[in-house]
């Protein structure tokens, strides 16, 4: 067999990496792409591998799916601006003493939802974990069988409870649970109930022959009631919206009303109907909140100043009753007439046909809810071409037609979307 000549030898990893420097990645990442391409005996693929690695990084995208709280796109859209300065994260500027990072954002959220106190952790699963650890480690927690939910990523309430050190007591049936079922568990001499847990069925529905106790009924039991309301609606009256609450919120539990009905604590997400960053909020009775805050796990679950600053800004918008300052509510309450005006510009540009479509809240909230919207339709499946643009446009397809739902497209991006659709011709 002849010995391979110089022309048959692959390029050095470093040489190949330097030849694709214009991709714009740091050299170590280009080296990874070059090494993989050479190992695959396809040096020419190094550029494509590097470009793919760059595209996997976080970047702004245009959400044209109509799913307002799109989990894959970061749920609630949020603008966070922070210059290169320190913050008084744990410094009380009024006296120069060490302060609490939870105080400002937590106090504002507590005021907005009618709680005595509130603290913030990384997400709602962390909030439930901390509550159970702080209030029921080594004790029993009573939950209806209809509420043993699984959230995204395969995490289940029984699994979270096991990690907290609490013992699960299931009561009732899948479709019918009564307050007497809870009372029987709480009053049983063989149990040591630390918490009665109510979990909102935020991403599914049980319909038909059903029954469930109210918050007020559960609050009458001799154990702290913790309500995981999940989606994070602060107040069912929606005083931050000029037109009041939209009809599609009719059955959604809210923090203020849940606490007023007798719950000791509520736990909810910051990046769903609250419209802020990813976070978990625990609010309610000050003594119960303090027991959670003083648990060693609280330090491991606490957020940093970027999250707390974004929550502070969002809470201030609620207290000002300024729904327009919260992107989720601004998008969710756009009228069909307002969207049609924008759609006319797309039609005039000749890039698609105006279509009646429906948006969804998304993010594991309000299952089955649809909101009338307006979109632009193009025959065929154009998702790949739109997604692969320098400013990715994420669309949806139905019956071999690509739809751009304008409800979730920021008006400032209309021109970018028109350009993207025009490039399909």
Tens-place pLDDT, residues 197-208: 999 876 677 788
Query: Is residue 2 over pLDDT 60?
Result: no
Answer for the pair 313, 270: CB distance below 8 angstroms, yes or no. no
Q: What are phi and psi of 284, to 5 degrees?
A: 145, -140
**What CATH fold (topology level) applies to the domain 103-326?**
3.40.640
- pLDDT for the residue 7: 53
pLDDT in tens, 178-191: 999 999 999 999 99
- pLDDT for the residue 152: 63
Q: Which two tokens stand for residue 80?
A: 């966070």
198 SS3 class: strand
Answer for the pair 274, 232: CB distance below 8 angstroms, yes or no. yes
Confidence label for 1 from pLDDT (cuts 50, 70 and 90) = very low
pLDDT in tens, 286-343: 999 999 999 999 999 999 999 999 999 999 999 999 999 999 999 999 999 999 999 9
Mean per-residue pLDDT, 9-27: 94
Q: Which two tokens stand for residue 2?
A: 């002849």
Domain 62-77+334-422, second-level architecture? Alpha-Beta Complex (3.90)
245 SS3 class: coil
Q: What are phi and psi of 213, to 5 degrees?
A: -75, 155
User: 280-284 and 265-269 as β-strands: parallel, antiparallel, unpaired?
Assistant: antiparallel
pLDDT in tens, 364-400: 888 889 999 999 999 999 999 999 999 999 999 999 9
- pLDDT for the residue 5: 43
Q: What are phi and psi of 75, to 5 degrees?
A: 60, -125
pLDDT in tens, 201-243: 766 777 888 898 999 999 999 999 999 998 999 999 999 999 9
């Amino acid at each position: 067999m002849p010995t391979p000549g110089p022309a048959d030898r692959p390029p050095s990893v470093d040489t190949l990496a330097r030849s694709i420097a214009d991709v714009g990645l740091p050299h170590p990442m280009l080296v990874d792409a070059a090494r993989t391409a050479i190992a695959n005996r396809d040096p020419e693929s190094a550029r494509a591998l590097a470009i793919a690695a760059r595209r996997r990084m976080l970047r702004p995208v245009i959400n044209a799916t109509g799913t307002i709280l799109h989990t894959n796109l970061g749920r609630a859209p949020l603008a966070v601006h922070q210059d290169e300065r320190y913050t008084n994260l744990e410094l009380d500027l009024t006296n120069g003493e060490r302060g609490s990072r939870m105080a400002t954002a937590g106090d504002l959220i507590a005021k907005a939802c009618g709680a005595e106190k509130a603290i913030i952790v990384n997400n709602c699963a962390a909030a439930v974990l901390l509550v159970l650890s702080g209030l029921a480690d080594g004790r029993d927690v009573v939950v209806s069988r209809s509420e043993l939910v699984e959230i995204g990523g395969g995490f289940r309430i029984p699994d979270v409870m096991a990690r907290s050190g609490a013992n699960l007591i299931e009561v009732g049936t899948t479709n019918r649970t009564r307050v007497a079922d809870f009372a029987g568990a709480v009053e049983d001499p063989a149990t040591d109930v630390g918490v009665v847990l109510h979990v909102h069925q935020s991403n599914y529905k049980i319909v038909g022959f059903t029954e469930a106790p109210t918050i007020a009924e559960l609050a009458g039991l001799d154990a702290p009631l913790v309500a995981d309301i999940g989606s994070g609606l602060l107040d069912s009256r929606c005083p931050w919206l000029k037109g009041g609450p939209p009809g599609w919120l009719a059955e959604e539990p809210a923090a203020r009303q849940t606490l007023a009905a007798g719950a000791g604590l509520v736990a909810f997400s910051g990046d769903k109907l609250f419209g802020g960053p990813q976070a978990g909020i625990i609010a309610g009775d000050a003594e119960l909140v303090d027991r959670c805050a003083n648990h060693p796990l609280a330090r491991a679950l606490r957020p940093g100043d970027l999250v707390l600053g974004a929550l502070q800004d969002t809470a201030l918008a609620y207290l000002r009753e300024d729904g327009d300052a919260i992107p989720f509510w601004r998008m969710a309450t756009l009228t069909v007439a307002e969207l049609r005006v924008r759609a006319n510009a797309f039609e005039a540009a000749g890039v698609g046909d105006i279509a009646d479509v429906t948006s969804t809240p998304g993010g594991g909230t309000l299952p089955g809810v649809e909101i009338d919207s307006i979109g632009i339709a193009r025959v065929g499946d154009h998702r790949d071409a739109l997604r692969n643009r320098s400013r990715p446009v994420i669309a949806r397809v139905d019956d071999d037609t690509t739809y751009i739902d304008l409800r979730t497209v920021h008006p400032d991006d209309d021109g970018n979307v028109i350009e993207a659709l025009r490039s399909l011709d």
